[in-house]
Chain A
């Protein structure tokens, strides 16, 4: 069995199984946690509304905080949106998702995807530099942050190399790209990349709690 067939076959099956196991473990564990007892009278109703409101309001900082964080936010948005477009609008990726779920949708031209990929990688490197050069961020960062950055960036870079046929034979590059993504699948539930599935859950829970207490959201 060659590397590409290993990546497309057994490695894919095992990485997906670990991803599903990890997601089920983490999400079930979180959702079945008992909420802290709250003996106070609710000051406002509409926990769901509060959750939705906070999910939206925290998409951008309050005006007084924008000045200090606008570059971080812009770079974060660039690579998150870029990643979303690459994952969900590059035809080979759509076909992969279709093979998993049966769902498909129109794709973007490859040239646009490659451009988005290059911009996303640039944004990721800028964010890494900022993380290393800012003392407070450096102090707060641990292995999880750096490895999550590495595996995400590696997935995009190997994809770009495979698409451009640069550095090795195409089937080798493709196999390396698939294996990198599979490493990401395996890491995702156990590190900070889990925020892919929990970001709105946790923000919504906080919003609902705030709403109950009548706090400004």
Chain B
């Protein structure tokens, strides 16, 4: 996980990768990022000359799902990225070193590539006041992030926990968890949410930064528009059934078996921006809705606290019935009072007749 001073071209030549194979790889990359195929030769040229990018990956309050996911990326594969495009200088799960040696590798990379390394974060971070909830090698997640952020060229917050706080930040948020963008204000942050994020979306975003040397166009939540520009619902293959008014009522009824829309079963596709319906998972095999389950909305902020996954989007959170009952009781009392006053006035006017 070192040697980041070599260019990508040198690294490829060392591994015996032909120009044709590299162009093919760049075409796949361009396709993933929704760029025209004509960009591939320019990408190949830029990448071949580029130095392998030093990448430091910090994992905080997380479940390793994001790392599990990125290792399933097929275009580009994580192996392609590690061997050809990046120098992954620190990653808990993927690095061979452990303990002091691992921490030294991180510190060395931070010094050697100060101001130039790409910082990837997965997991949320306990805030400064509650920093003791999560530490690595005796250093709090908060301190490690703030120190590493200082020398980073940009930060990629991978997964909903790093991007929006995710499950650790769910009510009642016992550790005072925060997202990267909540804490780091002076560095560009790209959010790549999802629980976990789609593998090719993660590698595609990294490849974009490495290829073009700048951030992709982001939406108002800091997510790359190319992958988070449309809702799941907009691109869902079940959408025609929504328009036809055909909805599955249970997970195993005739409608569900016929592929009807899962809106009634709580699908959050209409309010979830992600590329699941287009890039899909497991090398384009399928995505959750295709497997028969509604979208959970995992790439949206606060998805864990938005009510039941199985409650239809239009059902609303009605709160306590006692509030409505109290409103009705007060209304009846006020109405009865108004009627009594009217009767009293009437009695005075008619002399009680």
Contacts and interface: CB of A to CB of B under 8 A. Distances in A.
Interface of A: 2, 4-5, 8-10, 12-13, 16-18, 20-34, 37, 91-93, 95-96, 98-100, 107-113, 165, 170-171, 174, 178
Given A37-B350, A91-B264, A109-B244, A29 B338 contact: yes
Contact of B339 (A5, A20, A32): A32
A95 to B, nearest CB: 4
Contacts of B270: 170-171, 174
Interface in B276-320: 301-302, 306-307, 311-319
Contacts of A110: 242-245
Given A91-B245, A95-B264, A12 B338 contact: no
B20 interface: no
A8 B307 CA distance: 10
Contacts of A108: 245
Nearest to A106: B245
Contacts of A96: 314-316
B234 A165 contact: yes
Q: On chain B, which size bracket covers the interface?
A: 35 or more
A30 B312 CA distance: 37
Contacts of B323: 13, 17
Nearest to B315: A99
Given A21-B331, A25-B331, A26-B335, A111 B316 contact: no
B231 interface: yes
B317 A13 contact: yes
Contacts of B334: 21, 24-25, 28-29
A170 B271 contact: yes
Contact of A95 (B243, B314, B326, B331): B314
9 contacts: A12-B319, A24-B329, A29-B336, A29-B338, A31-B339, A91-B247, A96-B314, A96-B316, A110-B244
B312 A92 contact: yes
A8 B316 contact: yes
A18 B315 contact: no
Contacts of A18: 327
A107 B301 CA distance: 32
Give the dominant DSSP class at B's interface: helix
Nearest to B273: A169
B316 A12 contact: yes
B327 A34 contact: no
A113 B244 CA distance: 10
B343 interface: yes
Nearest to B261: A91
Nearest to B323: A17
A13 B318 contact: yes
Given A21-B327, A111-B243, A99 B316 contact: yes
A53 B338 CA distance: 31
Contacts of B324: 16-17, 20
A5 B304 CA distance: 12
B338 A25 contact: yes
Nearest to A171: B271
B342 interface: yes
A30 B343 CA distance: 11
